[in-house]
Amino acid sequence: MKIELPQVGESVTEGIIGKWLVKVGDKVKKYDPLVEVVTDKVAMELPSPVTGTLREIIAEEGETIPMGGVIADIESENEEAAPTTAKENQPDLEAHSEPGKEIGTTGILLKNVAPVGPTGSGGIIDSTSSEGDKDRGQDRGSRVIYSPAVMRLAEIHDVNLEMVTGTGRNGRVTKKDLQNFIDSGKASGNSKNVDHDDKKGAITDSVAAKDTHPNVPGKDEEKITLSPVRKIIASNMTKSATLIPQAWSLVEVDVNGLVELRNKVKDDFQKREKVNLTYLPFVLKAVSESLKEIPLLNSSWNEDSIILKHKINLGIA
């Protein structure tokens, strides 16, 4: 039985094989964890859909696989018994048939019966209905859906996504497909980011030179392979630096009053709450009050608009 990477979300098109939790030849039970999979949305453990023996690992650790791609092969307990059982239950048609005479149909398969409802006939589905459904299915399939990450990358490099061959589920274009298309040089002629200014051109050439000559560790250096989580974090940080306008402000603050206030109340706070009073709660209070006064700071960039948040949520790492 081929094990496929399940679809975990509309915008998630691929996943990275983090770590296999079983080895080839291991026996697994249904719902036992097989492998750790990391996507740009979530890290998860993929359970076994059947009870059996792991026959083959197709996707190795660190490999990027499109959703719906095959990652392993499991020999389920029912595989060996199924052919024998089917053969035993198969009626002996040859003993009751005459040469040249076809066996007539005594009934109809339920799967060939249209559903009975307000407009259902309860009869066998005719060919025109099936062809119409097929045509409508093709129309639905012709509408290609791209993930936000693919669309952003295509916009940066001015790539026509119809020119990119997709290897994802149902021919969907993954980020890896688009990156390979860009790296092949086919998109270089269409890139809208090409600037003919000499200074910027020199920077572009320098970046291209670094890409074509990756760093090779020397004698006194060590190469550490990135984990899937680190790769995704680095990718998202790069997107943040390149796709979101950057700005910073430095203000010097006199916190002598804050130090005096903390020293005044920290002992009572320790007795009451059984924890030390640090400066962090005061900083959080100052930030939340500042966001109330300047609500535009509590917003996010959305390419062609700014999303203003009406609730204040602070995350601490």
Q: What region does 5 belong to: left with phi over 0, alpha with psi -120 to 50, or beta?
A: beta
Q: Count Cβ atoms below 10 Å from residue 67 Cβ, excluding itself.
A: 20
Q: What span, in angstroms and rounded, lies between the C-alpha atoms of 178 and 158? A: 11
Q: pTM for this one?
A: 0.39
**148-212 belongs to which CATH class?**
few secondary structures
Q: Where are the domains of the chain?
A: 2-79, 148-212, 256-308
- Burial category of 46 from C-beta neighbours within 10 Å (exposed 0-12, middle 13-18, buried 19 and up): buried
Between CA 28 and CA 17 the distance in angstroms is 19
Return phi, psi of residue 157, to 5°: -95, 5
CATH 2.40.50.100 is held by the domain 2-79: yes
* Torsion angle (degrees, nearest 10) of CA 176, 169, 134, 163: 10
**pLDDT tens, the chain, 317 aa long:** 899 988 877 778 888 898 999 999 999 999 999 999 988 777 888 999 999 999 999 999 888 888 889 999 999 887 655 554 444 555 554 444 454 444 444 444 444 444 444 344 444 444 444 444 444 444 444 556 677 678 878 888 888 888 888 887 778 888 888 888 888 877 654 444 444 444 444 444 444 444 545 567 777 888 888 777 788 888 888 888 888 788 888 889 999 999 999 999 999 999 999 999 999 999 999 999 999 999 999 998 887 889 999 999 998 87
